[in-house]
Structure 1
Amino acid sequence: MFIEPNLKGERKGWIEVICGSMFSGKTEELIRRLKRVKIANLKAEIFKPAIDVRYDEVNIVSHDTNSIHSTPVENAHSILLMAQDVDVVGIDEAQFFDEEIAYVCEQLALKGIRVIVAGLDMDYLGKPFGQMPNLLAVADYITKLHAVCMRCGGMASISYRKIATGGQVLLGEKDIYEPRCRECAQLPA
C-alpha cells in the first residue's frame, strides 16, 4: 500500500527517533514529548509491542514509573491500520517490531503525522538491534541518550547483560542488565 505524499500545502509529518541503551531515559523522554502533545490538545495514538509486559500489559512505563496509556500491537502494520485521524503517533520499544516498522513510520509521516519512536539502538553485545538501524536511517530527527556506566561512572551506551543465557531478545530489568561504557562492557560481570 502506497500513500501519496502531501503536496497540497497541508501540515507535514516527520519521524523523531529517541535511542540509546537501557536506563538512558528513552521511554521517559518519549512520555515527556507525548504529554506535551496532549497539553497542546493534539490527538495522539501510542503503541508498544505486545511482547513487552515488563511493567504493564497496556501502559508504557519508564524505569522511574512514569506512565502513559498505549495500545499493545503484535506487528508494525497494525499501527498503520489503527492510527487514524491523529496528529501524533508514539511508539516505544521499536527494536522489537518486525521489518515493516520503518515503512509504517514513513507512511504515517507522509500522511502529515508526527511520529515519535523510542528504542534500543544496540543489543547487549553492542551490535545494531532489530530494525533500529532502518529507523535511524529514515528519521528526520535523532536523539541519542546515554546512561551512567555502573562500573566506572562514565557515559554508558551498552546494555550489558549480566547473565550468559538467552538469545538477542531477553526481557529484563536491573536484575539482568546494567548500563556500561564501551570499555567496561568488555569486563566480566
Structure 2
Amino acid sequence: MTSRLEVIVGPMFSGKTERLIAKLHRAQYAKKRVRILKPAHDTRTQGYIASRAVMPDGTTQITDQLSAVMVHDEESFWKIVNLNKFDVLAIDEAQFFPLDTPMRDSLGWFGRAIRRLLRERRNTDLRIIVAGLDMDFAEEPFGPIPGLLAIADNVEKLTGVCMICGSDAGYISYRMISDDKQLVVGDIGEYQVRCRSCYEPPRKKP
C-alpha cells in the first residue's frame, strides 16, 4: 500500500476530462472518498469539471459533470487538502497552475505540493489523478504537467481528431487567435486540435 500519481495528458478535445470523470465514477462505485479541484484561472466552468462533446454545428455540449473546488493559490490548495479526508484527489486543467517567476524547477508550487502530499501519505492508499495539457499552442511544455509526468506512476497520453484532415492523430491545441501569451483560456472558437502535419507554428513577432 502506497500513494500513487496518475497523469492524463493530451490536447484539447481529446477526452481528458471524460477519462478523468470515468475514473472518478469508478472510485465512487468502490465507495472511495473523492475530492476534485481545478484552478480558478479556468473561467469556463466555475465549481465543476465537465466532459463535452463537439456537435455537428461546431458547438460543444456537456455530457457529464462533477462538482469541484476552485483553487486560487498554494495557500488555498493546502487549506482544502488539510480540511478534507479523501482517498482520491483529482485535479483537472492543471496546466493553468503557473510555474515560479523566475523559474525554480519544472514543478512549480503545484507540482511540489503534489510531490509533498505523495511523500507525506506514502504509507496510505492515496490516489492522485491529474489531467491537463502537456503542450501549449507553440509546442512548448505547459506549466507543471511535464514535471508531474516525470514523477507519475502511470501516464495516459490521449490524442484527438485533427480538425483539418480528420486523422486520429491530433496531438496539439492549435490557437486560431492572435495572442502570444501562454495562458489564454479558450474553447472551440479559439482552438483546434491538429495533427503534426497540419500544425503551423505561430509566427514570431519581429
Equivalent of 2:129, from 116, 119, 125?
A: 116
Among residues 6, 9, 19, which one is paired with 1:19 in the alignment? 9
Distance 2:8 2:86 in 1: 20
Unaligned runs of 5+ in 1: 1-10
In 2, are the aligned partners of 1:101 and 1:135 still within 8 Å (CA)?
no
Alpha-carbon distance change, 91 to 168 in structure 1, aligned in 2, over 3 angstroms: same
Write the letter of the residue equivalent to 2:200: Q
Which moves more between the two structures, 43-52 or 157-166?
157-166
2:172 to 140, 154, 158: 158
Question: What is the TM-score normalised by the length of structure 2?
Answer: 0.81
**Structure 2 CA distance for partners of 1:127 and 1:68, relative to 1, 3 Å:** same
- RMSD (Å), alpha carbons: 1.6
Unaligned residue ranges in structure 2 (runs of 5+): 54-61, 99-107
Partner of 2:91: 91
Match of 1:186 in 2: 200
For 1:17-37, what per-residue CA distance to the aligned partner results, in whole angstroms no more than 9, with x for missing partners?
A: 000000000111111111111
Quick check: 78-87 or 68-77, which moved more?
A: 78-87
- The residue type equivalent to 1:62 in the other structure is S
- Equivalence map 1:30-109=2 (5 Å): 30-54=20-44, 56-64=45-53, 65=62, 66-83=64-81, 84-98=84-98, 99-109=108-118
Give the alignment's TM-score, normalised by structure 1: 0.88
- Take 1:150 and 1:187, find their aligned partners in 2: how far apart are those partners? 16
Pairs aligned (count): 177
Q: Does the alignment pair 1:172 with 2:181?
A: no
Distance (whole Å) between structure 2 residues aligned to residue 14 and residue 81 of structure 1? 21
| Structure 1 residues 123 and 71: CA distance shift in structure 2, 3 A | same
* Structure 2 residue matching 1:61: 3-state secondary structure: strand
Equivalent residue for 1:148?
Answer: 161
Q: Which whole-Å CA distance do the structure 2 matches of 1:182 and 1:102 have between them?
A: 28
Question: Which aligned segments of 4 or more residues in structure 1 are displaced greater than 4 angstroms?
Answer: none
- Please report how far the alpha carbon of residue 81 of structure 1 lies from its aligned counterpart in structure 2 after TM superposition: 3.2
Q: Tell me the alpha carbon deviations over residues 88-112 of structure 1, each in whole angstroms, 9 at most, x when there is no partner.
A: 1000011011311222222222313
- Tell me by how many angstroms 1:85 deviates: 2.1
